[in-house]
Chain A
């Protein structure tokens, strides 16, 4: 007869350490590795191994079929010599204004406003704002390509109010000056709801007593914002900043769908350059190097943001 279960129950009831030394809760146990193993194996196979392969490939000139030739760091020094790569990074920096900076500013402003005013039907409002994020961005990008058509709703509306001369001759996505901002506005439309939702949630967490105290001290709306609201949203701000900056740096979908990097190279971005070199022009080593550099830049930027925000938290 197996006495096991009864013994264990009694031991637990007695709270004694009779059978084997029980560990303190929270201390690491070797069996933990077993639990992690399945997920880790998948992660290693589909993320780590390709990452190391990519690092390896980036030191070669490889067309994808025939044996590659070793070129050392040549694919990396391209970063300084190939103007299209630098142009790609310049474009994402510009996109960051639309994908990160503006959504945060607008989100903060609206969150501060809403925190002071009771708005009816806030839930409906939230759903509408969040909707763009729920629909795949490929689908919305296709729809916006029509929106930006030279005879689409924006152009037609401008002509209707007599501002037809603002419509660029080659269409919003075909004009060298408006193509990138046009993609940016698409990103702003999609991303700003996310910021606002997060900030609204954050604002709800701020105790009303802080606001009352500020008012008692004679703070006006603006002082209140900087003294109470903004510090209270620090964590949400950090999250939004990191996510939106990373999201901008590896933008691909909307460029592929809406402009194909064009007109010319006016909207090319690093992720799109990686795709073209990998699949279209057979420059696999260069594509790998571009990807690795992009990854390192994302690491660096994320680390910098987190450092800056955490230092602020301690203050």
Chain B
């Protein structure tokens, strides 16, 4: 059978049309989001029914409190309906870009700080600058400069830590060391006040046949926290903060003796068997559950597991990883929690801002306090805290670090690919497959690639 030329012609036509249709620069044009007029209007305008779509990633008890707060907001402003879309952390990260650039996208979102998430959205003109609302509602006076800085970007998204405010929260996070009070006293140990004393406690626990540090790195992210708080005790807070914000571009390097020493310490602990056997493939949630059941003297992670262990628990306590030397500054990784941002394409900016003000009010933080969320705002009523409970320990530790100006942001915010690079490198470091020097060299190459690509 002879193939008719018509078939070939039709095929070529299809290809041509497709190529023409596809051959254009991907990505829409960017118009920088215009801020609402100054002074901004507070409260919800009662101009007919308003539906606010809110995207969040809260789980567990915090999520239930959000439902309660949403219901109270709707009761306060009867013309407003909250449509809540709840996704898990990974999904939110993946889907937010797509959703927020669509015309029917969300109004209020929880956008993770850092270059790959909030930074990219600001660069795309997809988030509304909140400065005028912050002035009108008095947000800038409620929290420290550090809390505002991690959600601040220049309008073109090229500079991190300065410029307009794009997200707001009054709740904070902190990484520290949970400890099993009974086990500590059974081993005849006291809370360490220096890093060498902490290491002695680890050895004592190991000798006694206990798991010194309950740890599971199958999910990859916990490794960053273990490395970061050791690093926090060895490198200066100013250096780390500048490194993460990238304010000094390629003048700062990750490849420093302090970072190498931190890597060596972590690898040393792993080689000495101070972490849970089989940590490489184990799951984080199981490790938390095991720690709660009494397996492990210490667990190095963030304030978010307070709800799992019990906010009013007196079986577990919390302290910041102590400094290298006696009397050194209290430093740890943490800072502002998940901020709330307003999508630039929203039609209800005023209502969205009123919602954010509600979700960050004293009332909200009082409700959230019992889940282990730490209020960072001035006038937070922690008087109701019972000293000696786990929650009190966490709040006190945060206050100490904040007072000492020793709160370092999460390191994986430093470049868009830092999370991948660091988690993989830490897994190899702790499996003794690379040396501390190779570790810092590898991470520095990601860092310098990014800094040189910044225009």
Contact = CB atoms under 8 A, between A and B. Distances in A.
Given A57-B26, A67-B27, A281 B416 contact: yes
Interface string B72-88: 00000000000000000
The 4 closest A-B pairs by CB, nearest first: A174-B281, A170-B280, A174-B280, A171-B281
Interface in B372-386: none
- Interface SS of chain A: helix, strand, loop or mixed? loop
7 contacts: A56-B22, A63-B120, A67-B26, A67-B28, A171-B218, A174-B280, A283-B417
A172 B196 CA distance: 33
A55 B278 CA distance: 43
Contacts of A281: 116, 416-417, 420
Interface stretch (B35-43, B144-152, B201-209, B423-431): B423-431
Given A56-B26, A67-B28, A68-B26, A280 B278 contact: no
A176 interface: yes
A254 B391 CA distance: 39
Nearest to A65: B124
- Interface SS of chain B: helix, strand, loop or mixed? loop
Interface string B45-84: 0000000000000000000000000000000000000000
B219 to A, nearest CB: 8
A174 B120 contact: no
Contacts of B281: 148-150, 170-175, 179, 263
Interface in A220-266: 260, 262-265
Nearest to B431: A176
Contacts of B431: 170, 175-176, 263-264
A284 B424 contact: no
Contacts of B101: 65
B328 interface: no
A28 B1 contact: yes
A173 B126 contact: no
Interface residues of A, number: 47
Interface string A66-80: 111010000000000
Interface centre among B126, B218, B419, B420 (most CB of A within 10 A): B218
A282 B22 contact: no
A194 interface: no
A251 to B, nearest CB: 19
A260 B221 CA distance: 12
A141 B427 CA distance: 22
Interface string B428-439: 100101000000
B407 to A, nearest CB: 26
Contacts of A172: 281
Contact of A49 (B21, B416, B417): B21
A264 B30 contact: no
Contacts of A173: 218, 281
A24 B18 CA distance: 35
Interface of B: 1, 4, 6, 10, 14, 18-19, 21-30, 93-94, 97-98, 101, 116, 120-121, 123-124, 126, 217-220, 277-282, 416-417, 419-420, 423-425, 427-428, 431, 433
Nearest to B117: A282
Contacts of B19: 52
B185 to A, nearest CB: 29
A169 B433 contact: no
Contacts of A276: 420
B426 to A, nearest CB: 9
A150 B280 CA distance: 10
Interface of A: 26-28, 30, 33, 44, 48-49, 52-53, 55-57, 60, 62-68, 70, 148-150, 169-176, 179, 260, 262-265, 276, 279-285
Interface centre among B280, B282, B420, B431 (most CB of A within 10 A): B280
A27 B1 CA distance: 7
B320 to A, nearest CB: 29
B424 A264 contact: yes
A263 B281 CA distance: 8
A171 B10 CA distance: 57
B438 to A, nearest CB: 12
Contacts of A264: 424-425, 427-428, 431, 433
A260 B220 CA distance: 9
A272 B275 CA distance: 29
Given A60-B26, A65-B126, A67-B28, A262 B220 contact: yes
Given A176-B433, A282-B116, A282-B120, A62 B27 contact: yes
Contacts of A262: 218, 220, 423-424, 427
Given A65-B120, A281-B420, A174 B29 contact: no
A7 B358 CA distance: 82
B29 A67 contact: yes
Given A48-B18, A176-B433, A66 B124 contact: yes
A174 B6 CA distance: 58
B413 to A, nearest CB: 13
Contacts of B21: 49, 52
Given A170-B279, A170-B281, 14 more contacts: A44-B18, A56-B22, A56-B23, A56-B26, A63-B124, A65-B101, A169-B278, A169-B280, A263-B428, A281-B116, A281-B417, A281-B420, A282-B116, A283-B416
A55 B22 CA distance: 9
A4 B14 CA distance: 38
Contacts of B282: 150, 171, 174
A33 B4 CA distance: 13
A199 to B, nearest CB: 35
B384 to A, nearest CB: 40
Contacts of A66: 27, 30, 120, 123-124
